[in-house]
Chain A
Amino acid sequence: MSLEEHPGAVDTSEPLLRAVDLTRHFSLGGLFGKDLLHAVDDFNLTIHEKEIVALVGESGSGKSTIARLLAKVYAPTRGEILYRGRPVKKLRSRKDLLWYRGEVAMVFQDPFSAFNPVFRVSHGVMRNLALHRPDVRRDQRRQEAERVFESVGLNAKMLRRFPYEMSGGERQRVGFAQALATAPKLILADEPVSMLDVSIRVGVLNMMASLRDREGVSLLYITHDIASARYVADRVIVMYAGHLVEEGPTDTVLRDPKHPYTQLLLSAVADPREKLEEIAGDTGEPPKVINPSEGCRFRSRCPYAIEKCSLITPRPGPIGPSQVACHVALAQAEGATDRVETAPITQR
């Protein structure tokens, strides 16, 4: 298993999955409620083959909504999802949906509630094989189930177990085995390690990397833990209050974060091996985005906010290999080449 930049993540003409201006609003306050919660706004995302993309954000940032949009649990309010160039919206027939759900599988956060307790863990795997794998003959299914179990680091004998007979880490691996049974190209993993004990998290992360390397699967790894994103992901997307704030190669984003929010997030990670300076009195909670006005959603917490930030919503723009949605950072990057009008950076 390699932790270096993954060679498979090359730019081909059409990526595995592309989301364009993805937006999802929820109406609040019942049937006649007029308030709109903007869970995700104008979100762009590409996932290439054999790539682990980490989606990092705090609770309420909209990262789980994105997973559900991509899994077709929710329909987008606006915007489009293209899977291998095909608009996902147009997949309506049972056959098409079955195909898509086999190509894009999901793993859930809580391994303690994701399984039916009265069935053996083989049930979900076998069912996915029956539904999504016409290429596997009925008498070969058991063998394939065993192969899938072994590829997530479980013993094939464990197929006979019930969920209660397994530890949290083992159950989460069963979740991955179920997803893998459909022979997916992409696995959406929503906080797959956050409910697990510290000592077994790394094992599951390593297993995710081996799925990419050995099975050729791409993963969207949704997490609030930027350190684990750094450990396993090829590319990182940072979200704040429904917006993409920074996106780029893992090493670039973590070594030299451009968006003030990414910087804050990194400085907040406690690392016993590092002595960190104290951060200023930021009580640190992302806002609920209800009927938002124009402007950057991070501006009230941002130490570098300028007037423009409360007037115009920043759109992601290129800085080096990354995309950053910040007026100040973009102006600075531009200013490095030619001096454009930049408002003074006010330190509050």
Chain B
Amino acid sequence: MPEPLLEVSELSVDYLTETADVRAVDQVSFTVEPGEFLGIVGESGCGKSTLLFGVAQLLSPPGEVAGGQVVFRGEDMVRLGPDDLRHMRWRDFSMVMQSAMNALNPMKSIGAQFKDTLEAHGSMSIEKIRRRSAEALEMVGIDPVHLGSYPHQLSGGMRQRAMIAMALLFTPQLVMMDEPTSALDVVAQRSLMSQIKDLQRSLGFAVIFVTHDMSVVSRYSDRVMVMYAGQIAEAARTEAIFARPLHPYTRGLMSAFPSVAGPRRELIGIPGAPPDLARPPSGCRFHPRCPEVMPQCLTREVPLYPLGDADVRCLLYEEQAKKAV
């Protein structure tokens, strides 16, 4: 068994506010194998972006890692200093942000920003920088003439592609993506996703892909992790989770969006709204919205039960999990 590329164990992230400390990510553990595509799905405020920032050590006050480990290639990133992290960023792991318009510097051309990134990791000749930048842009299907373009001259889809090209300048082993497609139209979204998947197959990097849209990850990820109120609700292989969703929340999410094919039928969605993490519900955090709520759900903290290949945080599976052990 090869060592996992990334091993996150019991990672917690707090936001320190004046009134209370809000635990946005609560003891989340997962691993990413080399070359694996992991999708993290959840609604706004479930902690999915915070988790990603916690893994990448990009949290800024009031957010901070409250506990846990992030072991990347054998090193605990939580303990590394800013200098060590700077050496690793872009080269060993990189991040693609949700809004490329905000992530790119509006005052600098794409080429200049690529150059900055490349020069941050050792000196390179101008010729080599130009060649590598052009290669990276071509990889994502943008004409290298756009190295001279400024972000505002590119369309939304092209900016997002340029961000991905930048993340791949050093061909890192891990690329983290925070909703890179959610600001795009469906057609552009679809073509960008196919491209990410193609690049991942040919270059072999691992991807952590955060999204609110189940359907986006369905076709591209190897594994899916569903988050609710700062915790993992369910994690399983993609085919398994779509064929047989276990957690009532996952089931609700799956039947919450209409389909373009098949019979038109009435959908129900999930009643209520996601909880405020400053005051999480007692017991199971999903119980106020759960259609299968039981009396013990209101009082008992629910652990993550391993069920074969899957993990699920729901008391419905307590017995089954015990038998399996």
B126 at the interface (CB under 8 A from A): no
In the complex, the answer to whether B189 meets A268 with C-beta atoms within 8 Å is yes
A280's nearest neighbour on chain B, judged by CB, is B191
A167's nearest neighbour on chain B, judged by CB, is B273
In the complex, the answer to whether A271 meets B273 with C-beta atoms within 8 Å is no
In the complex, the answer to whether B260 meets A226 with C-beta atoms within 8 Å is yes
Taking A230-B264, A272-B215 as contacts, is the C-beta distance between A201 and B256 under 8 angstroms?
A: yes
> Which of B156, B185, B260, B273 gathers most chain A CB within 10 Å?
B260
Q: How far is the CA of A278 from the CA of B257 in the complex (A)?
A: 22
In the complex, the answer to whether A268 meets B186 with C-beta atoms within 8 Å is yes
Query: B186's contact among A58, A202, A254, A274, by CB below 8 Å, is which?
Result: A58
A265 smallest CB distance to B (angstroms): 7
B58 smallest CB distance to A (angstroms): 24
A-B contact count (CB 8 A): 136
Could you say which of A90-98, A114-122, A282-290, A327-335 contacts chain B? A282-290
Q: Give the secondary structure class of B's interface.
A: loop
In the complex, the answer to whether A284 meets B157 with C-beta atoms within 8 Å is yes
In the complex, the answer to whether B266 meets A284 with C-beta atoms within 8 Å is no
Query: A283's contact among B157, B213, B253, B265, by CB below 8 Å, is which?
Result: B157
> Using Cβ atoms and an 8 Å threshold, which residues of chain A touch B258?
202, 205, 227-228, 230-231
Q: How far is the CA of A201 from the CA of B257 in the complex (A)?
A: 8
Q: How far is the CA of A275 from the CA of B261 in the complex (A)?
A: 11
> Using Cβ atoms and an 8 Å threshold, which residues of chain B touch A170?
273
A59 at the interface (CB under 8 A from B): yes
Q: How large is the interface on A (under 10, 10 to 19, 20 to 34, 35 or more residues)?
A: 35 or more
A203 at the interface (CB under 8 A from B): yes
B170 at the interface (CB under 8 A from A): no
In the complex, the answer to whether B185 meets A198 with C-beta atoms within 8 Å is no
B242 at the interface (CB under 8 A from A): yes
B194 at the interface (CB under 8 A from A): yes
Q: B256-308: which residues lie under 8 A (CB-CB) from chain A?
A: 256-262, 264-271, 273-274
Per-position 1/0 for B216-250, Cβ under 8 A of A: 10110000000000000000000000100000000
B77 smallest CB distance to A (angstroms): 31
> Using Cβ atoms and an 8 Å threshold, which residues of chain B touch A265?
186-187
B137 smallest CB distance to A (angstroms): 14
In the complex, the answer to whether B273 meets A285 with C-beta atoms within 8 Å is no
Query: A199's contact among B190, B193, B253, by CB below 8 Å, is which?
Result: B253
Q: How far is the CA of A35 from the CA of B259 in the complex (A)?
A: 41
B212 at the interface (CB under 8 A from A): yes
A10 at the interface (CB under 8 A from B): no
Query: B242's contact among A59, A197, A230, A272, by CB below 8 Å, is which?
Result: A272
Q: A265-307: which residues lie under 8 A (CB-CB) from chain B?
A: 265-266, 268-276, 278-279, 281-286
B172 at the interface (CB under 8 A from A): no
B120 at the interface (CB under 8 A from A): no
A264 at the interface (CB under 8 A from B): yes
> Using Cβ atoms and an 8 Å threshold, which residues of chain A touch B156?
59, 285
Query: A284's contact among B185, B218, B254, B260, by CB below 8 Å, is which?
Result: B185
Q: B67-101: which residues lie under 8 A (CB-CB) from chain A?
A: none
Chain A residues within CB distance 8 Å of chain B = 1, 3, 58-59, 167-170, 197-203, 205-206, 224-228, 230-231, 251, 254, 264-266, 268-276, 278-279, 281-286
CB<8 Å pairs between A and B, sample of 16: A3-B264, A198-B253, A198-B256, A199-B269, A199-B270, A227-B260, A231-B267, A251-B264, A270-B193, A270-B216, A271-B261, A272-B214, A272-B219, A274-B261, A279-B191, A285-B185
6 closest pairs, A vs B, by CB?
A284-B187, A272-B218, A202-B269, A231-B258, A167-B273, A199-B270
